[in-house]
Amino acid sequence: MKSILAVIFICCCQVAFAYPYRIYTAPDGAIVKNILTNEVIGRTPVEVDVSNTEAGSTFGISMYRHENVAIKIFTVMPSAENNFTVSGPDVATMALPGKAPLNVMNDSNAAAVHIDLRPFLSEPAHQPIQ
């Protein structure tokens, strides 16, 4: 009886696999938070565990005097449009219009994403102290 229940459990339950992914920002020290669970993961550079669920793949990045950005790390499924190739994870960024990050570089081979955060436009120009 126990073996039958174990087989039913294995066949009917969905498994969520997780893989590590590094988030780097310029400047360093931005706070990374899981958007759906509201869990603060840490400050960049940070390693996150990305799963194939909504709660495990969407992160918010915020830093003082910089625009907030959200990223979603997902795996592109093989289809006829991409010639049924299996590719590494891809990154989608979400921000308010005109507030997007300056640059987003996804390195799926190294399992890392590099994000250049956009400073506020009202930021004064840096002038050296004389």
Digit-coded pLDDT (tens) for 61-80: 999 888 899 999 888 777 88
Residue 3 parent element (H or E): helix 2-12
User: What pLDDT is recorded for position 62?
Assistant: 92
Band (pLDDT 50/70/90 cuts) for residue 116 is very high
Q: Find how far residue 89's CA is from the centre of its chain.
A: 10
Residues 57-62, mean pLDDT to the nearest whole number? 90
What is this structure's pTM?
0.74
User: Within 13 A of 34's CA, how many CA atoms are on the CB side?
Assistant: 16
Asked if residues 28 and 50 have their Cβ atoms less than 8 Å apart, the reply is no
More confident residue, 105 or 6: 105
User: What pLDDT is recorded for position 46?
Assistant: 94
